[in-house]
């Protein structure tokens, strides 16, 4: 049975697209048929992060409007088997997505893919609702920072009220907390919210933590999902997240300094 997973956050710039690209790539590396859809109509960027921007011919909105078929719009990743990208339209406005249109595309994709990752736009408007509406599970991407945590809470509220599962009284969307841009040093010095703090405030099940890392910018610079960079700590953390998502239990890696380890009570 295909699973639809929305990657959402409310706040912009916290790492939704990075996460969508890395997570989808990780799932595909594990052998699952995976497609990642850019829901950010008008501001498409997943194609750039995935490094396939020059291969976009037809997009999500074209498919909904019947101007091109799904197979023409799906871009097959050249590095990873089983991985496909459905780009957003760059020219239309976000209202071009309709519930009916999105439902139809998702139904078709469900027949072919095990995992459908929906990369949500920022905000709480139409585009964000379209991305979350049909989801079975949600990855809530949060930075350990006040505005991001507050916006995540808002999004969690919407997941339990504005989605198909909520409206039709079906079992609730399974939520996962993913903390990104985490700096253990700053947490230890008391200037950054810890994983436990964020978890306690948002009160949804914890999926993982991605360290703040230079390799994330390097990866997007070159259009390579960070999970393909074997030397990257963030990439490794995303692979752990994928493993945990698939029900395995890799340890939570947290690089700690010598002194921290010594003085941890």
- Which residues bind to another protein, rule: CB under 8 A? 145-146, 149-150, 153-154, 157, 161, 187, 189-194, 197, 200-202, 263, 265
Closer CB to another protein, 18 or 163, in the complex: 163
Which tokens belong to 183? 């700096």
* DSSP 8-class letter at 96: G
Query: Measured between alpha carbons, how far is 173 from 164 in angstroms, rounded to an integer?
Result: 9
User: In the 3-class helix/strand/coil scheme, how is 12-33 assigned residue by residue?
Assistant: CCCCHHHHHHHHHHHHHHCCCC
Secondary structure element (H or E) that encloses residue 37, with its range? strand 34-38
Pairing of strands 83-86, 206-211: unpaired
Q: Can you list the alpha helix ranges (DSSP code H) found in 113-232?
A: 126-133, 146-159, 164-167, 184-188, 195-202, 214-222
Pairing of strands 83-86, 115-119: unpaired
Residue 76 pairs in a beta bridge with 84
- Give least dist CB 212 to another protein, A: 15
- Give least dist CB 121 to another protein, A: 21
Closer CB to another protein, 73 or 128, in the complex: 128
Closer CB to another protein, 103 or 158, in the complex: 158
- Give least dist CB 119 to another protein, A: 25
Closer CB to another protein, 191 or 249, in the complex: 191
Closer CB to another protein, 38 or 151, in the complex: 151
> For the chain, how many residues are written?
265
- Give least dist CB 200 to another protein, A: 8
Closer CB to another protein, 114 or 153, in the complex: 153
Query: Measured between alpha carbons, how far is 54 from 63 in angstroms, rounded to an integer?
Result: 18
* DSSP 8-class letter at 85: E
Residue 118 pairs in a beta bridge with 6, 37
- Give least dist CB 34 to another protein, A: 33
- Give least dist CB 220 to another protein, A: 28
């Amino acid at each position: 049975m295909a699973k639809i997973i929305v990657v959402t956050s409310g706040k912009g710039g916290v790492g939704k697209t990075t996460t969508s690209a890395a997570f989808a790539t990780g799932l595909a590396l594990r052998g699952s048929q995976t497609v990642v859809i850019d829901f950010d109509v008008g501001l498409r960027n997943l194609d750039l992060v995935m490094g396939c921007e020059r291969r976009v011919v037809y997009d999500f909105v074209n498919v909904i409007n019947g101007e091109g078929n799904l197979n023409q719009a799906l871009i097959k990743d050249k590095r990873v088997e089983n991985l496909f990208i459905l780009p957003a339209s760059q020219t239309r406005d976000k209202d071009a997505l309709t519930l009916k249109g999105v439902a139809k595309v998702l139904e078709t994709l469900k027949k072919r893919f095990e995992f459908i990752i929906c990369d949500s736009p920022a905000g709480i408007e139409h585009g964000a609702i379209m991305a979350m509406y049909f989801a079975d599970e949600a990855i809530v991407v949060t930075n350990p920072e006040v505005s991001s945590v507050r916006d995540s809470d808002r999004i969690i509220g919407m997941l339990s009220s504005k989605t198909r599962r909520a409206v039709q009284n079906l079992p609730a969307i399974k939520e996962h907390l993913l903390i990104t841009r985490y700096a253990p040093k700053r947490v230890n010095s008391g200037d950054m919210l810890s994983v436990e703090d964020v978890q306690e405030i948002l009160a949804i099940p914890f999926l993982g933590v991605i360290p703040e890392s230079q390799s994330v910018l390097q990866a997007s610079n070159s259009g390579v999902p960070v999970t393909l960079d074997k030397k990257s700590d963030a990439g490794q953390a995303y692979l752990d997240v994928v493993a945990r998502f698939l029900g395995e239990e890799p340890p939570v890696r947290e690089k700690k300094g010598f002194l921290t380890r010594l003085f941890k009570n």
